[in-house]
Amino acid sequence: MPTYTVHAVNVGSFPLGETDKVLTIFSAERGIIRAVAKGARKPGSKIAGRADVLNVNKLLLATGKTFEIISQAENVETFPNVRKNLDRLSYCLYYAELTHHFGLGLSDESASYFHFLCDSLRAQGKGSVDAGTLCLIFELKLLEWLGYQPELDCCVVCRDALTEYRIAMFHFESGGIVCDRCSRLEQRAKVAEGGSYGAPRLSIYSKESVQITPFVWKRLILAAGETLLTEAAGNDNSAVLLRANQAARRIIQSYIEYRAGKKMKSLELIGKL
């Protein structure tokens, strides 16, 4: 069987047979791969610890029929600080869930994305920047990689430049902001149609859009320009800014879930706490 080496983050798994696990990994070399970790569910087995989600390993893989087979695993990083904090762990599991879902679309830039994912997990472990703010930066960068970067500079309908006096909605299908004028026109058209006839240009009052305030819009623009390395987003931890960042993050999470066509589960726990 041909073998090859990869460096990869574990982003998901499911049980196989009595004692095995199939890992979904995101590798620097080949993007998403599914590989069998033999004996990973046997207590005390060497591979068990390496098969945990979020672990980074150097793996020797053999090409299999349905899944690759892990012949050797060397642990590279485990992010212990992330695992000590439920809040940060939830965000990191969310990164894994997003990578699992969107990973196939990232294979052309697998090396860059792999390093970005590791940097993002490390930044959560460091704990110096608010967890939600880091997550917002992660989400916006992921969207950029996937070609779904939100349009924040001009209205997605009329293409006029946006100002803080002209912000109305974030529209998921169009992937950006709708200005107040287009939003009003749409509302009138909807009323004229009696609310139920014909297909409106934008279904602004459905689940496909949410209201956005000028302050939250500004936070989005700032976060879109941030990198994890500058950490400038985290230098100001005032309660007002953190709330605005959280509001911005909820909009972007809804946009991501709209693109994914499903709800992400990892952050449900945070919502309940």
Binding site for Zn ion (CB under 5 A): 155, 157-158, 179, 182
Tokens representing residue 138 in the block: 């992660």
Q: Where does 17-127 show beta strands of DSSP type E?
A: 20-27, 31-37, 56-62, 68-77
Give, in degrees to the nearest 5, the angle at Cα 183 between 169 and 258: 40
User: C-beta of 232: minimal distance to Zn ion in Å?
Assistant: 31
Is 68 within 8 Å of 8 (Cβ atoms)?
Answer: no
Q: Could you tell me the smallest distance in angstroms from the CB atom of residue 185 to Zn ion?
A: 8
Phi, psi torsion values for 262, nearest 5 degrees: -160, 160
Neighbours of 173 (CB within 10 A): 13
State which residue, 74 or 160, has the beta carbon closest to Zn ion.
160
Q: How far is the CB of 177 from Zn ion (least distance, A)?
A: 9
Residue closest to Zn ion (Cβ): 155
Q: How far apart are CA 216 and CA 37, in angstroms?
A: 44
The residues facing 3 across adjacent strands are 62
What SS3 state is found at 72?
A: strand
Q: Which is nearer to Zn ion, 201 or 263 (CB)?
A: 201
For Zn ion, give the closer residue by CB, 157 or 256.
157
Query: Least distance from C-beta 150 to Zn ion, angstroms?
Result: 15
Comparing CB distances to Zn ion, the nearer of 158 and 192 is: 158
Q: Which of residues 130 and 186 has its CB atom nearest to Zn ion in the complex? A: 186
Minimal distance, residue 156 CB to Zn ion, in Å: 8
Task: Report the distance separating Cα 183 and Cα 172, nearest Å.
Answer: 14
